[in-house]
Structure 1
């Protein structure tokens, strides 16, 4: 029976081990993977499509303005001194409109639209506060004309005196609301040739608000608020889950035309609202940024936790186009590349605006030394994305970018004659998202189920191994045991004679022997 028991234990353990390997280690993971692949696409009727087309919650949008504290000193060649004012808080509602589908090629086509609304919260600064910044119109026009038509600078000098009524500095003092969204009025009711020529160009640009027949208004974000952007075509991912959201065309073209090389004009990645599931950390997170006319890749940093969920943290930078040969195509010219951490957007937006991380974090020290009052901080100023790998969704993200302008002396424009060369920051923004428990709960339930199955399968596997060990031990023990039959002692009796008592008769022939 002991031998039979060991065999029974061995057979049961082997069957259990085979079952748990098949179900727990092979079938269940494949089932989860297959389920995620089937759910994460932008086809009709999919929940993720609805969230992709209209994000059901607002993103946090914070703006910080660098208030200039010594404008007249800068006019005379002094080093700029700034203080950060903010955040000015807004809600950013993202949606995609004019949506069409190309079923044959598995493509969704749409126009993006971002709408900003004011948000009052603890720690937010009122938009009524007054700040001083370099006038983006004055500084931008002079820098742009200096690059493309330097011969027209004398005309621009006369136009400024007319439109801005003989200004004594290039600095603008106004409320944050006016600078950001409401608009700062530009007096275009002038009659001189230079002023009228400048205002005519400003009207035709389409980026300014028309106040009345005479006046225009300039703001940093007003033109973008609630405005449909250029058309994007992206793959839906119903045929290949790894292609979900990948942009294949922007503004009617598969390549941009802003940069001198094909590599820099390539459009890669998604629009940042959706990513393919089950990405390897080595692949990074690639997204296309129309405002920068380029794609950016976020690199894996570490594993961490968010609301109890294991996630991967990623970060991104603008590189160093002064040293990296693959990034030199983003320079204005091959001989005028900016140093580490900065990118010139002139070929993208038509104005020499420099983009970097806030407070010149992770940038060349020379930019930080050119301005007083900046305090770069990794936690506050880096780009950070917490990415849930299985479902392919960012659970928390902080996209932070600073916008600055070059400040250069120019002898043809009176207001620019005495400047010391530097890069002066104007503002920086943080676009953020932190999923609440409503949206993390399904992910946590999936991970709880996976964790329970993982624990169970390992316990069963260990129990199966223990059963095999036990059956082997019993089998070995049984083979080493010798079976001995016990013998009973027989009591001594009288010698046996040839007498037979059968039937009670005596054998007479044996008589006397």
Structure 2
């Protein structure tokens, strides 16, 4: 009996313990996930996220496309609309390496520099492209606001230079990384004597000249490590030791967003912000798809909304990005202020989501915008905030105006926003890494499910133990009742036997008395 009693209480104890563990797992799932994220995500030289932050685990792939002007002579001589032909892609691997880190535990930030390296993979770099002469276009943009007489004098001064053409023909390698010599660059000193500031000039011009294997274009970043709260993980604190941009006033000049590391728990965020010094402003992303997938791992997809490139009449928040207060149709962003006055306007490739006005300034079939090839999209794992897939696509346009006082500009169309180059920077994490993200993203579900199963098992054991105990009690009670009935029946059955045994005694006694009387 003692052994059975011990078994009964052992089952109850085991059931209660499993039930308790299950309830605890359900209740602490949030805290456990917070602890795991904090241990893994907070930046420090010893954290698991540090090696992937310092050097990207997978190199980016950069695809660059240049626009060849097929009718350059007609444009410069007769003001014809430029007819463009997209050339490329010219594909490079892009590596990022952070160095010179200085950790600031007092305010939970780290300061660092980042070097970028491009390695050519495919595309003929010796292919020649006819394209706008950006240094001359920059000079024209600086001269255009001046009085007509001043422009005439400057034009005579430029006549002493080697003849400059507004359109040039160069190899892809010259236009991208190697750069090319230009008389405007050589005569910078003379030009400045004419009262025209030509800041930011380099020895050669190329869209990425001087950027390969260097850090200066990315500046000096100071970001939050998440030590004081995961909600600010990766957020930019200062850029080049400043909290605001010198190029734009008010909210437009405030540095915001994250360069490459984002805070966790994105499920309820309608917006994400990416700090991008190349774009000269923080990139605003809008939630587009809450059920995106990367290798079967759930993600949330954010895209560039048309509101990002909208003009102030559509999006009043963009008014401070328009320093000259000349409102343009929606679709481009005036980046000239942070490009040393060069007439650079950023947009999405092929003027995707832009006002038809921009395509109307070009020849037929010069652009063919479509979402699958030209939109910008980021897919994040929402629990950790890790970027699983990115395709960032932007286009550099050069604004050209007819300037009748300048020989190279006097026959151009009145105004043209001329696409010159667009690029796609992308990466998709391999299955080995997205698989880890899957476990992290489903951690709470796994823990709650495990806790629920354990709680169910615990309840089942308790119910079973009580049922067995109840069944035994009922069975014992039934046996006791049967024994009592059997005992009662046994007693009743024995009474007639005694009567039968005792009945013959009466005649025997009577006979004995009769015999004694006869003898006497």
Alpha-carbon spacing, 1:81–1:387, altered in 2? closer, same or farther (3 Å) = same
Q: Which residue of 2 aligns with 1:310?
A: 298
Structure 1 contact 163–186 (Cα < 8 Å) conserved: no
Matches within 5 A, 1:317-328: 317=305, 318-322=308-312, 323-328=314-319
Q: Could you tell me the TM-score, scaled by structure 1's length?
A: 0.82
- Measured in 1, the distance between the counterparts of 2:87 and 2:18 equals 66
Q: Could you tell me the TM-score, scaled by structure 2's length?
A: 0.81
Q: Which residue of 1 aligns with 2:518?
A: none
**From 244, 253, 258, the counterpart of 1:270:** 258
Q: Which residue of 1 aligns with 2:208?
A: 221
- Measured in 1, the distance between the counterparts of 2:467 and 2:16 equals 15
- Measured in 1, the distance between the counterparts of 2:34 and 2:108 equals 21
- Measured in 1, the distance between the counterparts of 2:22 and 2:303 equals 39
Alpha-carbon spacing, 1:219–1:198, altered in 2? closer, same or farther (3 Å) = farther
- Measured in 1, the distance between the counterparts of 2:121 and 2:84 equals 25
Structure 1 contact 342–356 (Cα < 8 Å) conserved: yes
Structure 1 contact 202–208 (Cα < 8 Å) conserved: no
More off after superposition, 317-326 vs 389-398 = 317-326
**From 422, 427, 444, the counterpart of 2:416:** 422
Secondary structure at 1:172 match in 2? strand
Structure 2 contact 101–110 (Cα < 8 Å) conserved: yes
Compute the displacement of 1:293 (Å): 2.8
More off after superposition, 457-466 vs 400-409 = 457-466
Q: Which residue of 2 aligns with 1:214?
A: none
Q: Which residue of 2 aligns with 1:443?
A: 437
Structure with larger Rg: 2
Cα RMSD after superposing both structures: 4.0
**From 378, 381, 384, the counterpart of 1:391:** 384
Structure 2 gaps of 5+ residues are: 2-6, 515-520
Q: Which residue of 1 aligns with 2:279?
A: 292
Alpha-carbon spacing, 1:9–1:52, altered in 2? closer, same or farther (3 Å) = closer
Q: Which residue of 1 aligns with 2:229?
A: 240
- Measured in 1, the distance between the counterparts of 2:198 and 2:399 equals 25
Q: Which residue of 2 aligns with 1:63?
A: 64
Q: Which residue of 2 aligns with 1:54?
A: 55
Whether 2:172 is the aligned partner of 1:171: answer no
Q: Which residue of 1 aligns with 2:425?
A: 431
- Measured in 2, the distance between the counterparts of 1:299 and 1:339 equals 21
Alpha-carbon spacing, 1:187–1:256, altered in 2? closer, same or farther (3 Å) = closer
Matches within 5 A, 1:19-418: 19-23=21-25, 25-75=26-76, 76-120=78-122, 125-147=123-145, 152-165=150-163, 167=165, 170-187=166-183, 196-197=190-191, 205-209=199-203, 217-229=204-216, 230-261=219-250, 263-271=251-259, 273-282=260-269, 284-302=271-289, 303-317=291-305, 318-322=308-312, 323-334=314-325, 336-349=326-339, 350-371=341-362, 372=364, 373-418=366-411
Could you report, residue by residue, the CA deviation over 1:401-426 in whole angstroms, capped at 9, with x for unpaired residues?
Answer: 10102232222223323314231111
Alpha-carbon spacing, 1:106–1:456, altered in 2? closer, same or farther (3 Å) = closer
Count of residue correspondences: 489
- Measured in 1, the distance between the counterparts of 2:29 and 2:315 equals 45
Secondary structure at 1:295 match in 2? strand
Structure 1 contact 160–195 (Cα < 8 Å) conserved: no
